[in-house]
Amino acid sequence: MPPSPLTTSPEILTLLKNLHTKSLTQESTVDWHTLPQQCTPEFDSIMLDKFIALDQDKCELVYHILRSINAKTVVEAGTSFGVSTIYLALAVAENAKRVSATTKPRVIATEKEESKAELARAHWAKAGREVEDVIELRVGDLRETLTEDLGTVDFLLLDIWTPLALPALKLVQPHFRPGAVIIADNTVKAGDRYQELFAYVDAEGSGFRRVTMPYEGGLDMIVYQ
């Protein structure tokens, strides 16, 4: 096993490992083939007590990208119990320690379900002040919570029900800095449901370029030129 790319304490690494394990254990009990359509009350109710956290290797890649692009302002569409958010927070907090850093680090996280948001806050409290202090959690529908006060955005994580991926991208787009990165999960497995997003991003003159990476289910990295 290569060493973790994260600059953090052994306690936080253990916390993350345990959260990923819980998420995967839960996922193994879900019958993915018989689920109702996403963005319906039936689907949301099944998902209310589920982590469905971004896989650990994908979270580590996201952390690595954030460190490499020196991201300070990050938006997360889909927070759930806040697992991927910890990686985002650790990365921007670490970037802010760089000698030339002037911008305050921010992770703007958004989650529709209050009960999920509450548990996310509890996980962040376990991770400590460095993580808690940089996260700004907006509870509610991202189509409302992401309409204001984003600042200049370096990175967007699209780990959200697929019908919301394009609306989220469009809301954040006016705030992207040149070279901003967007990561979208499950782009092969749920490829048919990503068609609108792909058409938008792939259109000539869109300002976006994307590549699909061979992670489990497919992971797209999109760069805003």
Residues that bind ligand SAM (CB under 6 A): 47, 51-54, 78-81, 83-84, 110-113, 116, 141-142, 159-161, 164
Q: For residue 48, give the DSSP letter.
A: T
DSSP 96-128: TTSTT--SPPEEEEEES-HHHHHHHHHHHHHH-
Tell me the closest approach of the beta carbon of residue 69 to ligand SAM, in angstroms.
Answer: 19
Closest to ligand SAM by CB, 94 vs 159, is: 159
One-letter amino acid for residue 123 of the chain: H
Tell me the closest approach of the beta carbon of residue 151 to ligand SAM, in angstroms.
Answer: 19
| The two structure tokens encoding residue 53 | 């956290």
Closest to ligand SAM by CB, 119 vs 223, is: 119
Tell me the closest approach of the beta carbon of residue 89 to ligand SAM, in angstroms.
Answer: 12
Tell me the closest approach of the beta carbon of residue 221 to ligand SAM, in angstroms.
Answer: 16
Spatial separation of the C-alpha atoms in residues 103 and 202, rounded to whole Å:
32
Question: Strand runs (DSSP E) across 127-191, as ranges?
Answer: 135-139, 153-158, 176-185
73, 108 contact by CB (below 8 A)? yes
Tell me the closest approach of the beta carbon of residue 112 to ligand SAM, in angstroms.
Answer: 4
DSSP 19-64: HHHHHHHHHTT--GGGPPPTTSHHHHHHHTT---PPPHHHHHHHHH
Closest to ligand SAM by CB, 50 vs 103, is: 50
Closest to ligand SAM by CB, 149 vs 202, is: 149
Q: For residue 54, give the DSSP letter.
A: P
Closest to ligand SAM by CB, 66 vs 164, is: 164
| Helix pair 10-27, 83-95: axis angle to 10 deg | 150
Tell me the closest approach of the beta carbon of residue 192 to ligand SAM, in angstroms.
Answer: 18
Closest to ligand SAM by CB, 108 vs 180, is: 108
